[in-house]
Structure 1
Amino acid sequence: MSAPAKQQPSRPAMPDGSPRAVLVTGGGRGIGAAVCRLAARRGYAVAINYLHDEQAARRLADEIAAAGGTVCLAQGDVGGQADVERMFDTAQAHLGSLFGLINNAGITGRLGRFADADPASIEQVFRTNVLGTMHCSRAALKRFRDAGTHGVIVNLSSIAAVTASPNEYVHYAASKSAVETFTLGLAREVAANGIRVCAVAPGSTLTGIHAAAGEPDRPLRVAPKIPMGRLATPEEIAAPVVWLLSDEASYMTGAVVRCAGGL
């Protein structure tokens, strides 16, 4: 007797049958790119936000389109209100009403002791990580409200919000603590409107962020401190992010999902 055929999961769709559209900030590389790929495979229409690296974002968009996905590019600086409005308008013009926002764009600044940190770098970290998350969330909430959408926002935090990252980037850790507090407060504020807000807090992940922070070989140094003995892949972080978008997570809001190998 043959085994019953496996039932394929239904594609996420808006009430009118169109794909649920999500905007991923910093979506051209690293964790953001992995989120875009997985979301597209799961049937979401994806708007890839990028700041400078148009080539990487366009390659990813071409890859998603070649696999049959619906995708567009939305250039803009998440730390600038005018840019945020423009990139949301671009996403909606190409994909229709937005269902989800992934606040993934983030920077660390250079590794080192806080007393030696460049004040301009500290301000830029907060402008991108905290103000960027807030600007984009406000833009998403406005569009959810205008369309009557019960949307989802997923913010990218970091295990640094717990470990505090002394001697490496205390200011970055503080910015991610702010993201987690914002996640909980906003979740409670908009829950009655049917909007969910959660966060995923990755541990150290194999992306270009280590080289950008000034220590390309940092993964070799930090891996032994992780209970699982290794760094995450971007795909391992993308999985809980995209799951939080899904109806399977329909009773989760205000939650921070730690994905840090045991830390």
Structure 2
Amino acid sequence: MGRTALVTGAGRGIGRAIALRLARDGVRVGVHYGSSADAAKQTVEEITAAGGEAFAIQARLGAPGDADALWTAFDEHADGLDILVNNAGVLGGRIPFADVTEATYDEVFAVNTKAPFFVTQQGLSRLRDGGRIVNVSTRITHGAHTPELMAYAMSKAAIDTFTATLAKELGPRGITVNAVGPGATDTDMNTTRLATEEGRAAIAAQSPLRRVAQPADIADVVAFLASDDARWVTGQWLDASGGSML
């Protein structure tokens, strides 16, 4: 029996790249989206055109009942799960600390922290023993402090704790739980910063490799953690920022 994955926020950016990479590895992929129906459809079509299997499911994330709605939609397409990738997230904007509103703070934590918690909790009855959970975090939880992204970093720091603690909880079932920490990546989230030569050069200079990360760079790391090759790695936060923390 082939493996089945669910990737949240898989219509665009890093999530899309993860879905495409897992499909190339022979995994049947659930492409979750919140509002980007056309983008999710394109992801599914690209996977199927290459000979893979995929299906799209829609669900908002962060409000009461959202996780249940997601899994109800998933159950219409699959009878079990092997890989869960909690990728969906929002930045909340680059906002000075004094200007962060309660509404922005609540949205960031609802999508980035609450949603993965309850999506995972409700998905455990579907996740097979020996499965994989990969959470997409950020490099800025490990020292690259950015004041205008404080709420975002706090929401992801909670995910890092969630990752390590859940690994202990699920270890007896042979399920590994890990997180990846990307840096600035060439996605919609960084469109403005990458729109100029100066901005692109500044981001590229953060890495000793002197280039801007592509979504596929992160997806390949996630694919490793989702594979049997990573069977002895659990509870870890893996720097996927091109060495920008050096």
Which bracket does the TM-score occupy, shorter chain normalised? over 0.9
Match of 2:106 among 117, 123, 137: 123
Write out aligned runs for 1:170-181 (5 A).
Answer: 170-181=150-161
Aligned twin of 1:198: 178
- Give the superposition deviation at 1:34: 0.3
For residues 43 and 29 of structure 1, the distance between their equivalents in structure 2, rounded to whole angstroms, comes to 20
Matches within 5 A, 1:63-212: 63-144=46-127, 149-211=129-191
What are the superposed Cα offsets for residues 23-62 of structure 1, whole Å, 9 maximum, x if unpaired?
Answer: 0000000000000001001000000000111001001111
**By how many angstroms is 1:164 displaced?**
4.8
Name the CA distance, whole Å, in 1 between partners of 2:7 and 2:166.
19
Q: Distance in 1 between matches of 2:68 and 2:51?
A: 28
Aligned-residue RMSD, C-alpha: 1.6
Consecutive unaligned residues of structure 1, counting only runs of 5 or more, are: 1-16
Say if 1:206 and 1:219, in contact at 8 Å, map to a contact too: no
Partner AA of 1:123 in structure 2: D
Unaligned runs of 5+ in 2: none
Moved over 3 A (4+): 214-221
Using a 3 Å threshold, how does the CA distance of structure 1 residues 163 and 257 change in structure 2: closer, same or farther? same
Identity of aligned residues (%): 36
Report Cα offsets for 1:145-187 as digits up to 9, x if no partner. xxx5332110000001113533331111111111101100010
SS of match in other structure, 1:150: strand
1:247 is the counterpart of 2:228: yes
**With structure 1 as the length reference, what TM-score do the two structures score?**
0.86
In structure 2, the residue matched to 1:14 is none
Q: CA deviation at 1:81?
A: 4.3
TM-score by length of 2: 0.92
Point out the structure with max Rg over C-alpha. Answer: 1
Deviations 1:193-213 (A, max 9, x none): 2211111111111100124xx
The answer to whether the Cα contact below 8 Å between 1:110 and 1:117 also exists between their aligned partners in 2 is: no
How far 1:119 sits from its partner (Å)? 2.1
Amino acid at match of 1:153: I
Q: CA deviation at 1:215?
A: 4.5
Q: Is the 8 A contact 2:137 2:156 kept in 1?
A: yes
Residue of structure 2 equivalent to 1:37: 20
Deviation (angstroms), 1:222: 2.8
Deviations 1:210-248 (A, max 9, x none): 24xx64545443332333222210000000101111111
Q: Check conservation: 2:186, 2:194, Cα contact below 8 A.
A: no
Cα offset, 1:90, TM superposition: 2.2
Say if 1:21 and 1:96, in contact at 8 Å, map to a contact too: no
Partner of 1:237: 218
